[in-house]
Amino acid sequence: MSTDEYRRGREVERERQQKQRKARGRYRGVIPVIYAIGFVIFTGVSLFIGPEPAFTVYVVTHLFYAGLIRADIKSLRSQGIDWGASRHLWFGASFALPFVAPLYYLYSGRVIRRENESRGLAD
């Protein structure tokens, strides 16, 4: 008999329930919408007002993206998806690079799909 057969309690039940539920990114669906809105605001500000306010829009939106990406990774990790060290790279890159949010959206979709397939819950 393995040691898992003797384990009891809330933690074991929580692990068992996590494996039966489909993993999904809590904030993943919001990222493309916020990215599109930020792109429109950035373009409008840079065309009509100037480069200094556009840089401010750039900084604020990337801080917001970083927060969304961090919250999404945290929610995925709470669902049992292990990211390893790449979660730090995604979070750090979202501060400075303009195309990280859409790339994260695509990558996290792949990770979620792979996890759901391994759980036997794929669509």
DSSP string, 64-75: HHHHHHHHHHHH
* pLDDT computed for residue 18 by the predictor: 55
Is-contact 87 73, C-beta < 8 A? Answer: yes
Task: Indicate the pTM of the whole model.
Answer: 0.73
pLDDT tens, residue by residue, 11-22: 666 666 555 677
On the question of pLDDT at 44 being above 90, the answer is yes
- Would you list the domain boundaries of the chain? 25-118
Mean pLDDT of the region 45-52: 90
Tell me the percentage of the chain whose pLDDT exceeds 70.
Answer: 82
Pick from 28-37, 58-67, 70-79, 84-93: least confident: 84-93
Nearby residues of 18 by Cβ (< 8 Å), 6 or more positions away:
79, 80
What does the alpha-carbon distance between residue 115 and residue 42 come to, in Å, rounded to a whole number?
35
Tell me: the pLDDT tens digits for 105-115? 999 888 888 88
